[in-house]
Amino acid sequence: MLEALSDRLGAIFARLRSRGRLTESDVGEVLREVRVALLEADVSLAVAKDFVARIRERAVGREVLTSLTPAQSVIKIVHDELVTLLGGAQARLRFADAPPTVIMLVGLQGSGKTTQAGKLALRLKEQGRRTLLVAADVQRPAAIAQLQTLGKQIDLPVYDEGAGDPVRIAQRGVAEAKRLGIPTVIVDTAGRLQIDDALMTELEKMRAATSPHEILLVADAMTGQEATNVAKGFNDRLGITGVLLTKLDGDTRGGSALSIHHVTGAPIKFIGVGEKLSALEPFHPERLASRILGMGDVLTLIEKTQAVYSEDQARELATKLRKQEFTLDDFLSQLRQVRKMGSMSDILKMIPGMSRALPKDLEIDEGELAKIEAIICSMTMRERDNPSILNGSRRKRIARGSGTQVSDVNRLVKQFESSRQMMKHFAGGKRARLPFGALIGR
């Protein structure tokens, strides 16, 4: 997500740090490069020009040019302006004082509205808010079947009438939620390959019939600047209240994330970060700005950790580490928990400074983690508790059972023993050094 922009800005500010004092021409040179970096990241020209102008206005001030740490001062200004460009503060969903709250999802065909309806419903369910999904996309019959399937997966009701008037379907769906006492309704609407008058007229009628509290545009970040144009088109006709930006985990320059709020005034409320139904996150402008500038994202890392670790689990693990009772079975449990948090590459980049420290071409093979899991699962509980009993015949049996080589088993055992030695040194108050590669595989 915006990795190319992050790399370019990192290189620009690295050169800036080598200068003792900045002149106005130095600032101008840096800002020209920043503008080019933004344009290459698919940020619209108007947004890039306005962004750079605001930074220039602040950066050429006396407090920067005469500062003892001018590079840090400029970086802080860029960070603050990035946060402002992304919407300032986190924008939350608005809920009705008297239920049901109606959330209408709109967007072009293929943007992923139906999938995002399921993701959003699951997220609300996890927060204790039961949701009725309304299948109002009658243009695409597969959308109704898809929504029914999603409803079964997350154990939530789906209201559908098959073919018919989508406006009436949406209206009756809201009435059904009210009758059943369901506090939230998500209306999945039809899309088109492009914005047209027929689509907008239908959506305007649906808005009038259901009085939604939120109109969320589902926009595909992979479409670059076109996502900004689409957002403007929907906003002009419907007055969208927020944006759900999808595919930010894909091969995208991500400039739409930096342009949509500036162009429409509508905040980005959620971002899709994967294919799983749980891969929907609230959008935090400050956190994304920090990640773009290589500052990490500790708060998101903490939230991901808290989602998979309970306080009791953390306390139990700390006790085992302190008493040097950490086994391969414990390691397997921790590995599974970490994999629930996402890819190792993404997790490492949330650690401040790590994105700059890691090699640019570093590839953490998630398949290696699956291989480690298979090897440990092929061991008996006695072998997991005491790897020292793993003789040659046992290692051959484990390799056959896990579909791996004996050398893979040997490497895992060696890495685990190295880790335990490190823990032993730390427990004794000594400093220890362990190669980074030993923790993540080859």
% of the chain surpassing 90 pLDDT: 33
Q: How does residue 436 score in pLDDT terms, banded at 50, 70 and 90? A: very low
Count of domains observed in the chain: 3
Among 155-169, 372-386, 428-442, the range scoring the smallest mean pLDDT is 428-442
**Per-residue pLDDT at 442 exceeds 60:** no
Q: What is the mean pLDDT of residues 100-126?
A: 93
- What is d(CA 335, CA 285) in angstroms, rounded to the nearest whole number? 30
Which 3 state secondary structure label does DSSP give 254?
A: coil
pLDDT score of 385: 87
Q: Output the CA–CA distances (angstroms, integers) from residue 230 to 208, 235, 282, 297, 411, in the order listed.
A: 21, 8, 21, 30, 52
In a domain, 96, yes or no: no
Do 127 and 220 fall into the same domain? yes
In whole angstroms, give the CA distance from residue 293 to residue 295.
6
Give residue 380's pLDDT. Answer: 93
Confidence of residue 178 (pLDDT cuts 50, 70, 90): very high
Give the C-alpha separation, 114 to 199, whole Å: 17
pLDDT, position 278: 87
pLDDT > 60? residue 273:
yes
Claim to verify: residue 128 and residue 185 sit in the same structural domain: yes
pLDDT for res 114 = 93
Non-local (6+) Cβ contacts of 79 within 8 A are: 289, 290, 293, 295
Taking residues 350-371, report their average pLDDT.
61
Which residue is it, tokens 């590459």? 345
d(CA 375, CA 99): 51
Q: Based on the domain organization, do 384 and 267 belong to the same domain?
A: no
What is the arithmetic mean of pLDDT over 381-395?
A: 91
| 75 touches 13 (CB < 8 A) | yes
340's enclosing H/E stretch is helix 328-340
Preceding peptide of 100 cis, ω within 30°: yes
Same domain for 320 and 192?
A: no
pLDDT digits (tens, 9 = 90+) for 138-172: 888 789 999 999 999 999 999 999 888 999 999 99
- Give tens-digit pLDDT for 221-269: 777 677 888 888 899 999 999 999 887 755 555 677 778 888 888 999 9
Would 94 be classed as within a structural domain? no
Within-domain flag for 381 = yes
Q: Can you tell me the mean pLDDT for 276-289?
A: 86
Position 292 scores a pLDDT of: 76
Each residue's pLDDT tens digit, 74-103: 778 888 888 888 888 889 999 999 889 999
Whether 106 and 224 map to the same domain: the answer is yes
Q: Which of 123-127, 419-423, 433-437 has the highest mean pLDDT?
A: 123-127
Q: Is the pLDDT of residue 183 over 70?
A: yes
Q: Name the pLDDT band for 438 (thresholds 50, 70, 90).
A: very low
How far apart CA 424 and CA 168 sit, in angstroms, is 68
208: enclosing H helix or E strand: helix 197-210
What is the predicted pLDDT for the residue at 437?
A: 41
**Residue 415, both tokens:** 């890495």
156 and 274 belong to one structural domain: yes
* CATH assignment at residue 365: 1.10.260.30
pLDDT tens for 57-80 read 887 765 565 555 666 777 788 888
Weakest-pLDDT range from 43-47, 202-206, 277-281, 307-311: 307-311
Query: Domain range for residue 67?
Result: 3-85
Count CB neighbours of 439 within 10 A.
12
3-state secondary structure of 91: coil
Higher pLDDT, 315 or 37: 37
Task: Check pLDDT > 70 for residue 365.
Answer: no
- Residues linked to residue 220 through DSSP beta bridges, in sequence order: 246
Q: Do 288 and 305 lie in a common domain?
A: no
Tell whether 150 and 38 lie within a shared domain. no
CATH number for position 241: 3.40.50.300
Nearest-Å Rg of the Cα atoms of the chain is: 26
287/305 same-domain check: no
Q: In this structure, what are the phi and psi dihedrals at residue 133, rounded to the nearest 5 degrees?
A: -90, 130
Counting Cα atoms < 13 Å in the Cβ hemisphere of 80 gives 11
Distance in angstroms (rounded) separating the CA atoms of residues 188 and 119: 12
Residue 38 has pLDDT above 80, yes or no: yes
Confirm whether 91 is domain-assigned: no
Q: Are 104 and 216 in contact (CB under 8 A)?
A: yes
Confidence of residue 19 (pLDDT cuts 50, 70, 90): low
Pair 287, 398 in one domain: no
pLDDT at 359 over 70: no
Domain shared by 106 and 253, yes or no:
yes
Question: Pick from 268, 295, 322: which residue ends a domain?
Answer: 295
Select the highest-mean-pLDDT range: 31-45, 239-253, 315-329.
31-45
